[in-house]
């Protein structure tokens, strides 16, 4: 079946630095990918929609200059947390849509394994 891979699975970075998280669709072309964030012991919240070849669409309250999203190819979207601070520590997870499986969300959305970011 379709697989979405995220890298790194865990990363620790120093406050003030930037960190990049990659989301790859391994066996399908994903025209659309989604980035979610999960705070400790809370639910997942959609951050942005990443569209191949165009600018990402950010949800209300998400700083686009803080969380840079690039979807330069049909199999790769990246999330860069810029000038990271301890409050950015969170679980980030992507999902990708496989358009070849037809319309409807039930059969076309696949999640990556997620990335745990700790900013110290």
Partner 1 sequence: GNSVTQMEGPVTLSEEAFLTINCTYTATGYPSLFWYVQYPGEGLQLLLKATKADDKGSNKGFEATYRKETTSFHLEKGSVQVSDSAVYFCALSLDYKLSFGAGTTVTVRA
Query: Which residues in the 86-115 window bind partner 1 by CB under 8 A?
Result: 91, 93, 95, 97, 104-109, 111-114
Task: Kindly tell me which residue out of 21, 25, 34, 56 binds partner 1, with binding defined by CB under 8 A.
Answer: 34
**35-54 binders of partner 1 (CB under 8 A):** 36, 42-46, 49
SS3 118: strand
The structure tokens listed for 50 are 């990443």
Distance between CA 46 and CA 94 in Å, rounded?
Answer: 9
118 part of the interface to partner 1, by CB under 8 A: no
Q: What is the C-alpha to C-alpha distance for residues 30 and 76, in angstroms, rounded to an integer?
A: 8
Q: Is 62 in the site for partner 1 (CB under 8 A)?
A: no
């Amino acid at each position: 079946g379709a697989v979405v891979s995220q890298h790194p699975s865990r990363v620790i970075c120093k406050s003030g630095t930037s960190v990049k998280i990659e989301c790859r669709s391994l066996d399908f072309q994903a025209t659309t990918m989604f980035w979610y964030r999960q705070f400790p012991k809370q639910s997942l919240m959609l951050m942005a929609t990443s569209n191949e070849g165009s600018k990402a669409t950010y949800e209300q309250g998400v700083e686009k200059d803080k969380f840079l999203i690039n979807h330069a190819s049909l199999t790769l979207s990246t999330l860069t947390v810029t000038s990271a601070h301890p409050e950015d520590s969170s679980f980030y997870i992507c999902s990708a849509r496989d358009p070849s499986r037809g319309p409807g969300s039930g059969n076309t959305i696949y999640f990556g394994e997620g990335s745990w970011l700790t900013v110290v």
